A and B are shown apart, each in its own frame.
Chain A
Amino acid sequence: MSIVTVQLGQCGNQIGFEVFDALLSDSHSSQGLCSKRENEAYQASCKERFFSEEENGVPIARAVLVDMEPKVINQTLSKAAQSGQWKYGQHACFCQKQGSGNNWAYGYSVHGPRHEESIMSLIRKEVEKCDSFSGFFIIMSMAGGTGSGLGAFVTQNLQDQYPNSLKMNHIIWPYGTGEVIVQNYNSILTLSHLYRSSDALLVHENDAVHKICAKLMNIKQISFSDINQVLAHQLGSVFQPTYSAESSFHYRRNPLGDLMEHLVPHPEFKMLSVRNIPHMSENSLAYSTFTWAGLLKHLRQMLISNAKMEEGIDWHVRPPLSGLPPLGKMSLNKDLHFNTSVANLVILRGKDVQSADVEGFKDPALYTSWLKPVNAFNVWKTQRAFSKYEKSAVLVSNSQFLVKPLDTIVGKAWNMFASKAYIHQYTKFGIEEEDFLDSFTSLEQVVASYCNL
């Protein structure tokens, strides 16, 4: 079943391009370590999901590009066309001539309603092209102006017009020391709105990805393109085709639906994060070998100790011994040690994947008391290797990973709000203090729910 991607703002469009590029290059890769027939099935599945066919055979990404200024969209379109492998649809983009000045309220209350018709009509056309439509993948930043405010508005609209379709928002968490003064306001408004209208929020933190680029990839001058490529790699390893069951021979038809059913059925727990292993530069890759046991051990410890990447993992963190009560209610004042999960999904790709042992993830101590590991943990295995990695594992986790960052942002936003700093920029366009208070309430509720796991 097909997924329609909505790329919003500068962030969304740049990342979207990298994602489609990564998906298609991987599907054309000759190092799949599997039979030709297998490879063809993989390619067909990937294509059906993310691309549509045109007469001359060049796949067209199932995407709608939206931005308030033309520069980034034009760059994105031309980069795609230059690759020669794929492209965006000719009429799949919407842009205006003006920016929105990082003003969430302007994006939500002005741009949104003004351009609602045009944007929704583009999306509708893209959906109609799908024979079988699974849902939306909306890429946006949380703290910018266009991406965030407009993104919240568009997601709400999608909720109204497509109530039965799935919606996953891919959100970029801003740098802690970001440049935009009101980024915390934008963030809390975006998150609280999305929590109501979206089904799942898949979060990537800029800080974390930046560290991956620096430490694991050894990149000296890190550009947005590097960061986006790391992101795309992680997303690709989640969304590329996987088998539907241990012994089945068909690729899973509805990965978005299956993923959501496993991870986010509870309305209070919608925040997902991604961890993958291994991740390194191509040069290092040629000289490395891995075992599943090693990879999974590291991945499990990354989950438990809240590590963002495979380096610098804190091996002292242990799950609470079974039988003993969990280490008190998690307090945000002291350093969080053990990361309790609601649900986890591990996707394994590559050589000898059937022999990979994931028992470590089925430990009940990893999970909250009201879900047994048999319900909370799922593993998808596929023989076909991903993007030149002989073995790769990715973890999509609904756990306490994001509690601390969320709480930090809420705290900072509250401090600013207490002194009413910059509020007039929002009230000018219809976002009242009431709305801020509502947002604070919702997010406090989310933090509390996660803390009480």
Chain B
Amino acid sequence: MGRRRQRVDPAAGARAGALPEAIAALSRSLPSGPSPEIFRRAKFDRPEATSALWQLLFRVLSPLPVGNALASLALEAQAHLVKSALCSQGYPRLALAQLPEDGSQGSRELLLALSWLLARGPVPEQMLAQARVPLGDEMTVCQCEALASPGPPAPHMEAEGPVDVRRVQWLMGKLQFRWRQLVSSQQEQCALLSKIHLYTRGCHSDQSLGHLSVTEAEMLRDPEGGQQLLQTLERENQRLEAVLAWRHTELVFWRWMDTVLGTCAPEVPAAASQPTFLPWVPERGGGELELVVRELQALEEELREAVERRRAAWEAKAGGCGRGPEWSAARRASREAVEKELGALQQCWKQDSGPARPHGPHRLVRREDGAAGERDLRAAEVIRTLRSQEACLEAVLRRLQGQCRQELARLVGALPGLIWIPPPGR
């Protein structure tokens, strides 16, 4: 297990009471952090500290900000989720996986797990970012969050007997209606946001922003709500200060954790060596990868041949084609279309390796044309990027639909005496 190596600060360690201070700062910086007393009891593996630590670990490891639904999960369920989350992150100590989930024992193991997480990444800062109070109107410009947080596990439902396809179509239709209503609501929200931004021009004390956001306008309209907002911000400030205090004093904590680790029984040799917890690769993964590589190579060959043939044919046809304004205009138009398509394709391809694409939420600010600062992201650019991504995805969709149609046609062709009438396209 690694730990942060920092410049040794002799003064910090020498002060009595430095440890409780450090632990107190840590627990203040985490959401619903347990008291320093719990930590002390956990060092001695006392059972009463166990459930608090399970809950803390659950809060830390939940992908989403914990809402009511998740918070009300039973301890067993929380413990179970914690175990699987730690396992998937590569936690090396086997003893944790073997702990009972009823909160009766294992507080020392849990303490070790917590410190492992703290050592791996800036946990208090991440949790703060998750729970921050946005003052502006924000939206995200990337899809990362949506992809990374799959949400709570859906209840597994068994179909009772064969399902009528019409029922499935019915449900799909309902889903599509909900989706369209969502889009309408979003459009409504945009229209109203735009109005608020427009009407409150010049009201903001910060010149670079210029207008109020919804939260700010609401604060002015409803002073009581404004008070509550203020209190929330103060609480956030307190947590920020706790995080800073933690960073100053954490060395003491790590030294103490060394002693905690020392009190544990030595683990089975396998775990003591370098923790290489490989992510679980499904067995057939290797085979599929080979297949994909071969398919790509074949596709590349095919494309090369197709390009050659096309070029030859075009040369033959258009070798001595006319000049004139119409011809050059047509050529220009087609070149532009091709460039746009090429650009879209390249954009898709360079998605992962491109220049640092903006992540996370951005505040929406309405400004006059050309008044954007250097670090600002222009809406037009974001829209352009999104449009090219959309074009890529639509192309993929069309290709997949074509494949589906071919497959259907093949299946239908295999059944003698069956006439297939495709739905009328437009």
Contact = CB atoms under 8 A, between A and B. Distances in A.
Interface of A: 1, 131-134, 156, 164-166, 196, 254, 257, 260-261, 264-268, 368-371, 375, 438, 441-442
B363 to A, nearest CB: 23
B326 interface: no
B301 to A, nearest CB: 39
A371 B167 contact: yes
A134 B180 CA distance: 10
A62 B194 CA distance: 22
B169 A266 contact: yes
Given A265-B170, A370-B166, A1 B177 contact: no
A266 B188 contact: no
B130 to A, nearest CB: 31
A239 B188 CA distance: 21
Given A438-B424, A441-B421, A441-B424, A133 B170 contact: no
Contact of B188 (A132, A156, A265): A132
B191 A132 contact: yes
Nearest to A375: B170
Contact of A254 (B172, B181, B424, B426): B181
11 contacts: A132-B185, A156-B426, A164-B183, A260-B177, A265-B171, A265-B176, A265-B177, A267-B173, A369-B164, A438-B424, A441-B421
Given A257-B177, A261-B177, A134 B184 contact: yes
Contacts of B181: 254, 257, 261
B423 to A, nearest CB: 9
Contacts of A165: 180, 184
Contacts of A268: 166, 169
Contact of B184 (A1, A264, A267): A1
Contact of A267 (B169, B171, B191): B169
A448 to B, nearest CB: 12
B299 interface: no
B178 A266 contact: no
A265 B170 CA distance: 5
B188 A131 contact: yes
A12 B244 CA distance: 69
A45 to B, nearest CB: 16
Interface in B148-186: 164, 166-167, 169-174, 176-178, 180-181, 183-185
| Dominant secondary structure of chain B at its interface with chain A | helix
Contacts of A254: 181, 184
B187 interface: yes
A95 to B, nearest CB: 28
Contacts of A375: 170
Contact of B424 (A196, A260, A264): A196
Nearest to B171: A265
A265 B166 CA distance: 10
Nearest to A166: B180
Nearest to A131: B191
B307 interface: no
Contacts of A266: 166, 169-170, 173
Nearest to B421: A441
Contacts of A131: 188, 191-192
Contacts of A264: 173
A316 to B, nearest CB: 30
Report the contact-size class of chain B (Cβ under 8 Å from the partner).
20 to 34
Given A1-B184, A265-B177, 18 more contacts: A131-B191, A132-B184, A164-B184, A165-B184, A257-B177, A257-B184, A261-B174, A261-B177, A265-B169, A265-B172, A265-B173, A265-B174, A266-B173, A268-B166, A369-B164, A370-B166, A370-B170, A442-B424
B177 A370 contact: no
Nearest to B173: A265
B420 to A, nearest CB: 13
Nearest to A372: B167
Nearest to B168: A370
A321 B181 CA distance: 39
Contacts of B169: 265-268
Given A131-B188, A267-B173, A261 B424 contact: no
A28 B111 CA distance: 69
Interface in B384-417: none
Contacts of B166: 266, 268, 368, 370
A438 B421 CA distance: 11
Residue with the greatest number of chain A CB neighbours at <10 A, chosen from B164, B170, B171, B183: B170
> What are the 3 A-B residue pairs with the smallest beta carbon separation, nearest first?
A265-B173, A370-B164, A132-B188
B8 to A, nearest CB: 62
Contacts of B167: 370-371
Q: Which of A164, A268, A375 has the most CB of B within 10 A?
A: A164
Nearest to A254: B181
Given A370-B166, A371-B170, A261 B184 contact: no
A164 B181 CA distance: 8
Q: Most A CB atoms within 10 A — which of B169, B421, B424?
A: B424
Contacts of B187: 132-133, 164
Nearest to B425: A196
Nearest to A159: B426
Contacts of B174: 261, 265
A410 to B, nearest CB: 16
A156 B424 CA distance: 14
A370 B161 CA distance: 12
Contact of B178 (A132, A261, A267): A261
B314 to A, nearest CB: 33
A267 B174 CA distance: 10
Contacts of B178: 261
A166 B187 CA distance: 14
Nearest to B169: A266
Contacts of B184: 1, 132-134, 164-165, 254, 257
A264 B187 CA distance: 23
Contacts of B183: 164
A297 B117 CA distance: 66
Nearest to A128: B191
A406 B185 CA distance: 36
Nearest to A261: B177
Contact of B426 (A132, A196, A370): A196
